[in-house]
């Protein structure tokens, strides 16, 4: 009998889950606002509740109640995949800014920002130095009279164009880079990380330097912001101490007068109002999920949360691998560890997150390490040693080149015969869109050049340390 799976959310995570279900012969039903795509899936307006069936401990089934046009209906599903992501509810912390209730200008979240035209000639304060805040500030700097960005803790600002003009993720997210980061002595790893972040410009000179620069918090990707700061059209200030009717007083004592608008680029929160909190938040009101996917206390592992992680890697392959594993567990072809082992793993990961990202409750994770963990559960993790023994050319590209999603289609469920060739020719496809004026053969990066320098620097640093001490 074909198992029926309720997919809650029709974004990237939802579509990845639908695909994984179809690949494994499950029957997905997607609940989300939107139109039916080609008549393949049912889209409902609102999921009101998701509850365990009375015989859940035996069947693992769920009652999913939906509401459309004021009418409710309920259906039974063998499994539920929650794919609503983590950019759900705009977070606007007005209580953190004394005097904001006195401010007479406009005040809204970046979620409501649409276009820069209406801000022509205005004086705008953007609170938050994340991707949204930097994008909005850079765009407004071309039309507004003055733009100030207020940041509580600073941020690394990276360019999408990395060394040699290649895309940053193709050069930065590699297995060897990850190996160095996780295995070099902390002092060397931290020094090298800060050096990489400062490769384009010195963040101290632009007021952007993070308070704790060695933490691996998600950087901002913006190619324009440094230039706008350099031109004087964007100014960076510390956190706002308090507001008055027309101005903002910053923690350094400076004042931004006659503000027309305050835009809060303060991120988003996530919640699951349709499900009992005790399922997702099984301990101390924290979201407690094994590998960021499975609630440990469930008698039957028939619920999975897809897309509730954040890393430097791409969202689509992450959601794809999460859903591939989740579907195998739902089918029963993969089993989860005991509840005790899952909780111990969660505790261990929280300790590592505190070290790398500064917060134990963050949803941020190390991309390659996380992807390898997921892939190992379904037998899709490539064996680097075996590849070096059997296919050295592919092994070099897999280990020293970009960790592209093809790597997780080499073996295991969902294996793709074209994965090897796709990996070996990936740079051809990356360079093709930019080589529209032919002036010679496109130059691909040297696999060894990107890691020879850090190794040399590390060796020299260790040698200098030994000589001096």
Which string of DSSP letters, residue by residue, matches 74-121? EEEESEEEE---S--EE---GGGSTTGGG--SEEEEGGG---SGGGTT
Each residue's pLDDT tens digit, 231-240: 999 999 999 9
pLDDT at 455: 62
Collect all residues with Cβ–Cβ distance below 8 Å to 377 and sequence separation of at least 6. Answer: 325, 328, 334
Q: Is residue 361 pLDDT above 70, yes or no?
A: no
Query: How many C-beta atoms surround the C-beta of residue 249 within 10 A?
Result: 16
Per-residue confidence band for 45, with pLDDT thresholds at 50, 70 and 90: low
* In contact, 341 and 89? CB cutoff 8 Å: no
- Structural domains in the chain, sorted by start: 4-88+270-373 (3.50.50.60), 89-159+200-268 (3.50.50.60)
Mean pLDDT of the chain: 88
Q: Is residue 456 pLDDT above 70, yes or no?
A: no
Per-residue pLDDT, averaged over 46-65, amounts to: 92
Query: Which residue, among 395, 422, 402, 397, has the nearest Cα to 169 in the 3D structure?
Result: 402
73: helix, coil or strand?
A: strand
Per-residue pLDDT, averaged over 262-283, amounts to: 85
Per-residue pLDDT, averaged over 407-414, amounts to: 94
Return the minimum-mean-pLDDT range out of 116-130, 229-243, 340-354. Answer: 340-354
Per-residue pLDDT, averaged over 366-391, amounts to: 95
Per-residue pLDDT, averaged over 210-221, amounts to: 84
Which helix (H) or strand (E) segment holds residue 326: the answer is helix 315-331
Please indicate whether residue 455 or residue 402 has the higher confidence score (pLDDT). 402
């Amino acid at each position: 009998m074909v198992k029926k799976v309720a997919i809650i959310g029709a974004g990237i995570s939802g579509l990845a889950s639908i695909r994984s279900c179809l690949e494994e012969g499950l029957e997905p039903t997607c609940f989300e606002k939107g139109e039916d795509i080609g008549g393949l899936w049912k889209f409902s307006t609102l999921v009101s509740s998701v509850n365990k069936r009375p015989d859940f401990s035996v069947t693992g089934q769920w009652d999913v109640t939906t509401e459309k046009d004021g009418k409710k209906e309920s259906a039974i599903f063998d499994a539920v995949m929650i794919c609503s992501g983590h950019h759900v509810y705009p977070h606007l912390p007005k209580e953190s800014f004394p005097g904001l209730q006195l401010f007479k200008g406009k005040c809204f979240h970046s979620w409501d920002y649409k276009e820069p035209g209406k801000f022509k000639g205005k004086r705008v304060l953007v609170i938050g130095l994340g991707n949204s805040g930097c994008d909005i500030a850079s765009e407004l700097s071309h039309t507004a009279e003055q733009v100030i960005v207020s940041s509580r803790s600073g941020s690394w600002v990276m360019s999408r164009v990395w060394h040699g003009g290649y895309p940053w993720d193709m050069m930065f997210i590699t297995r060897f880079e990850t190996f160095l980061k996780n295995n070099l002595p902390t002092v060397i790893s931290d020094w090298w990380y800060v050096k990489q972040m400062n490769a384009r410009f010195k963040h101290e000179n632009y007021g952007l330097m993070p308070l704790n620069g060695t933490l691996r918090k998600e950087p901002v990707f913006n190619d324009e912001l440094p230039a706008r700061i350099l031109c004087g059209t964007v100014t960076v200030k510390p956190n706002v101490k308090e507001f008055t009717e027309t101005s903002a007083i910053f923690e350094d004592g400076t004042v931004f007068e006659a503000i027309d608008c305050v835009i809060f680029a303060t991120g988003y929160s996530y919640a699951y109002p349709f499900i009992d909190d005790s399922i997702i938040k099984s301990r101390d009101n924290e979201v407690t999920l094994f590998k960021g996917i499975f609630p440990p206390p469930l008698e039957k592992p028939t619920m999975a949360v897809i897309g509730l992680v954040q890393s430097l890697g791409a969202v689509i392959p992450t959601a794809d691998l999460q859903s591939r594993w989740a579907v195998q567990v739902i089918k029963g072809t993969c089993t989860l560890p005991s509840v005790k082992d899952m909780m111990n793993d969660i505790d261990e990961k929280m300790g590592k997150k505190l070290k790398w990202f500064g917060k134990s409750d963050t949803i941020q994770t190390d991309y390659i390490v996380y992807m390898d963990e997921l892939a190992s559960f379904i037998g899709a993790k490539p064996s680097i040693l075996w590849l070096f023994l059997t296919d050295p050319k592919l092994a070099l590209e897999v280990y020293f080149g970009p960790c592209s999603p093809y790597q997780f289609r080499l073996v295991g469920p969902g294996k793709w015969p074209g994965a090897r060739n796709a990996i070996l020719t990936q740079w051809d496809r990356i360079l093709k869109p930019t080589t529209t004026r032919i002036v010679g053969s496109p130059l691909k990066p040297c696999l060894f050049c990107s890691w020879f320098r850090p190794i040399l620097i590390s060796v020299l640093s260790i040698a200098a340390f030994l000589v001096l001490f």
